[in-house]
Structure 1
Amino acid sequence: NLPRALPQGLAAQIDPGSWQRPALFNWLQELGSVPERDLWHTFNLGIGYVLVLPESSCQQALEVVHNSGFTGWICGEIVVGQGVFGLPAGA
């Protein structure tokens, strides 16, 4: 739960276009009539793990992730506020 990982007064500004939505979720939504909100809040649209790091550490962390055989990307930033921002309508 990303909001609980952040101190009071800080929020996550998510960029949903920073990763490719896995086709599995389109299939699941169509076949099971799963609401968009559930895809985001229950399944995290395929995001398995989020690291919250200082911006100065991001590139080094991405190198470690990629060199370990995993896929990683910067999916947003930390901003002043509360909660999570940037999710599409219905999420």
Structure 2
Amino acid sequence: MADLTLTVGRVYRGKRIRNCHGLVNDRVIKWMGVNSVQFDSPSVAIGRHYPTVSKDKFLAWAGRDVTDELPEGSWADYPPVKLRGEGV
């Protein structure tokens, strides 16, 4: 993982894409501290607190920034277009 910069409000996709209630398990950063990251994701149940993990753990999970690829204000459907074979 070289040079992935974490930014509040950006959405990151894991190295291994997973299905979460019909959506991709992307994570959006809600808050960042010196050594920790708090995020939201389709896997976080409604009414639950946002999980907090270390920056190192988040970077180990994250594959790339997908903010610009997502529909405005929405999560990506699972399976992604790449896995469905539509387009390239």
**TM-score normalised to structure 2 length:** 0.28
Higher strand share: 2
Larger Rg: 1
Q: Report the TM-score when normalising by structure 1.
A: 0.27
Structure number with higher helix proportion: 1
